[in-house]
Amino acid sequence: MDPDCPAISLTPSWKGDPVLLVGAVDAIRLCREGGYAALEAGQAVCAVESRPRRLADDIREFLARASLSSFPLSSLDDFQVIQLIAKRIRSRDLVAVQRVEESSAAGEADKTAELRRLVRDIESKTRGRLAFAGRQYKLVVDAQLANLPGRDNYQVVPRDEAQQILSGIASQPGTQAELKPLLAEANSAVSPDWRPPLNPDGLVLLRRIPTVGSKAPEQVAPMTPSQLRKAMLTWITIDVVDEDDNPWSGAVDMTLTNGSQRSFRMSEAGTFHQDEIQPGTVTVKFKGDKTDQKGWGGEEISKDKPPVASRVRMVGMLFDANKCFLLPQALPGIKMIVGMHQKHPSAEVLIVGHAGGDEDLAGTDIAVDRAEILAAYLTSKSEPWLTWFGTDKAKQSRWGTREVQLMLSALPQGGTPFYEGNASGVTGKQTVAAITAFQKYSNKEKGTNLAIDGKAGPATCKALVTAYMGLENTTLAEGITPVTHGCEGHFDDTATASGLQPDDRRIEVFFFDNGIDPKPAGATSDASSSHYADWLKLLVETKDFENHGIHVLVLDSTQQPVPGAKVTYEGPTAGEAQADDHGFVTLMDLKAGEYTIHAEKEGYSITDSKLTYPTAKTVAPKPAEGTKPIYLRLRMDPDKAAALKEKFRLFSTDGSYSKTEATDRIKGNDYMDLMFDAAPTNLSYSLEVSAKGIKTYLLFEDIPFAQLHGHT
């Protein structure tokens, strides 16, 4: 295919398909019509500089034919001519092109078809909504970029950033399992960065940008070839540094020749690139603080709003210790979060979880788990919640009957709760009845088809979680994708609205009006990270939701619940409550400080517990020393049993208990029954036998209460 334009060969004729140097406009035509592909500028410069003597005269003729130089070329020596052409190549006024083999073109067609299939699959899984950190994105195949409808509404994302975004989408809570391998495949197929007249080679990630109105294109008269060349689309690259030569990454407004305006933010490297614009005068306005004016010759720069943030801070009993289930007591705080977002609808949302130092699982893992669970709740995504019922989760963190009871206690909205009382985690008749009632309700009101069996199986759990997430005013606007982050060792010394120092188990939701700044470096951060402190500096408003309380579980010495125990507490707040049938009681509306917890029930001697509130732990007053009688049946020789007048002394190993029983309680010819009352159930015992005229001896020694009671 003859290029049919001014061109110069940069390679010897015997080397097969030559590398041709042509003008930028001609390069665009050749690449679009097919048969040629553009090469990198570096390759072209190397080819020119490697053969300067042979090329110098040809270059003079070529530049004259193409009208690409206003210099009197005869006044330049060969070296200067070579330097001139190299400069034009680097500025992209000249482009090196080379023929493309037909087989290569066929291979490219197969590759394009495969990439189109991949994009279709991703769009199908995401329903055409590819979102990350509150921004909308679109994947396109290289060949489709030029003719993409609404192209002016999108900005090309550089390759490194595009790969980070695709990885971030894959790791977001709620991302479908089948979508993740597709995103990984797309990640590896992202095109290297390019500039026209070079074309992308692979997938291109586009970010939707706001457009400020554009003028409709005017009808123009037929143009001459020279006018057509001027009207061909071109490109612009902006590199910005401050007076200290450091990259500037602020916001920019750009007005193009045709009057259309575009707003964007410079990359971290201080660079912005825009393809497919018409040649002419382009006006760029840099937005930022007045300090950004340095280096711009005093030109007035419009002042943009500084990055600011608002926050809802939730503290107190929001989660059980070592778990990430969002307790019903936190629901009013959820509504506060939704209300804050309605005030800042365009803000980017960042959820930061913290772990308490008094939890067994304190650390960034439980912190980010809590942030992700809250994000899933706010966006009504049930899948991340359902995974916590799985047996692959650690036992102390896994959800089960207690979480089912908690959700049933909050449903239905506005009606009598399906489950009332403390959520004990024990599946009893009340729990079965509550699940059964919910199953009937869900089938009738929500159109589900649950089995009415009183069991919290997978289908019932999914319907229950969906209903729990569907409570009124607890969901963010559609399309919002919060960023989640877990922190460890980050303290906030700002007292809450009640005057309480916030503890380490809080969860915070930040709303950044001008984008999250700085963006989290990863899913978690430890105490050495400065990001959390940086976010606090941007705060202009904080609203607190406080839910202060503790769980108390009364157990006996064998770790069995003590039902109906009376629990009293004394401290900055005082009161009393009664444990349920499973020994649970929840104390609410507590103030910070030292507390003494006392539990009592007839027949039990329970030691007081002391604690400093706030704490995420369930308090178990220990030891719960119950007292019960011990009954023993002793089998004996009938003749000896009738004749002996023995005494039996039962005493505890620690010496705190001692009771004696005489042998006049004979119930038969071959056995006798003994009863020792008020024996503490948490001790071990020995039985001593004595009689007149015989030596005292031990019948048994150091046997725990549980093994003695009711045994023969």
Spans of all domains in the chain: 7-100, 104-208, 233-293, 309-539, 549-622, 625-708
pLDDT tens per residue, range 29-46: 777 666 777 777 777 777
Question: Which pLDDT belongs to residue 293?
Answer: 35
Q: Would you place residue 297 in the very low, low, confident or very high pLDDT band (cuts 50, 70, 90)? A: very low
Average confidence (pLDDT) over 365-384: 94
Question: Which pLDDT belongs to residue 511?
Answer: 96
Secondary structure percentages of the chain, helix, strand, coil, to 5? 30, 25, 45
The 10 Å CB-count burial string (b at 16+, else e) for 415-427 is: eeebbeebbbbbb
Average confidence (pLDDT) over 298-311: 58
Question: Which pLDDT belongs to residue 516?
Answer: 92
Backbone angles phi, psi at 140, to 5 degrees: -135, 155
pLDDT tens per residue, range 409-425: 999 998 999 998 778 78
The pTM (predicted TM-score) of the whole model is 0.47
Query: Which of 117, 168, 169, 124 is closest to 144 using CA atoms?
Result: 117
Identify the helix (H) or strand (E) that includes residue 461. helix 458-469
Most confident of the following: 7-16, 263-272, 531-540, 655-664: 531-540
pLDDT cut 90: percent of the chain above it: 20
The 10 Å CB-count burial string (b at 16+, else e) for 63-100 is: beebebbeeebeebeeeebbebbbebbeebebbbbbbb
CA distance 349 to 309: 10
Mean pLDDT computed over every residue of the chain: 77
Query: Which of 37, 33, 32, 195 is closest to 20 using CA atoms?
Result: 37
pLDDT tens per residue, range 94-112: 888 887 665 444 555 667 7
Whether the predicted pLDDT of 515 surpasses 60? yes
Whether the predicted pLDDT of 403 surpasses 60? yes
pLDDT tens per residue, range 533-579: 889 888 888 998 888 777 777 876 656 678 888 889 998 888 888 88
Q: Would you place residue 334 in the very low, low, confident or very high pLDDT band (cuts 50, 70, 90)? A: very high
Average confidence (pLDDT) over 449-475: 95
Amino acid at 118: L
Which three-class secondary structure state does DSSP give residue 689?
strand
Amino acid at 672: M
Question: Which pLDDT belongs to residue 218?
Answer: 43
CATH class of 625-708: mainly beta
Average confidence (pLDDT) over 363-385: 90
Whether the predicted pLDDT of 128 surpasses 80? no
C-alpha distances in Å from residue 492, one per residue of 235, 311, 505, 536: 48, 13, 11, 9
pLDDT tens per residue, range 176-221: 888 889 999 998 888 887 765 567 788 889 888 754 433 444 444 5
Question: Which pLDDT belongs to residue 227?
Answer: 47
pLDDT tens per residue, range 477-507: 988 999 999 887 666 656 666 655 565 568 9
Whether the predicted pLDDT of 238 surpasses 80? no
Question: Which pLDDT belongs to residue 699?
Answer: 82
Contact 576, 567 (CB under 8 A): yes
Whether the predicted pLDDT of 694 surpasses 80? no
Whether the predicted pLDDT of 644 surpasses 60? no
Q: Would you place residue 348 in the very low, low, confident or very high pLDDT band (cuts 50, 70, 90)? A: very high
549-622 shares its CATH topology with 625-708: yes
Contact 603, 628 (CB under 8 A): yes
Whether the predicted pLDDT of 301 surpasses 60? no
pLDDT tens per residue, range 240-259: 776 666 777 777 777 776 67
Straight-line distance from the first to the last Cα atom of the chain, in angstroms, rounded to the nearest whole number: 107
Question: If one looks up domain 549-622 in CATH, what number appears?
Answer: 2.60.40.1120
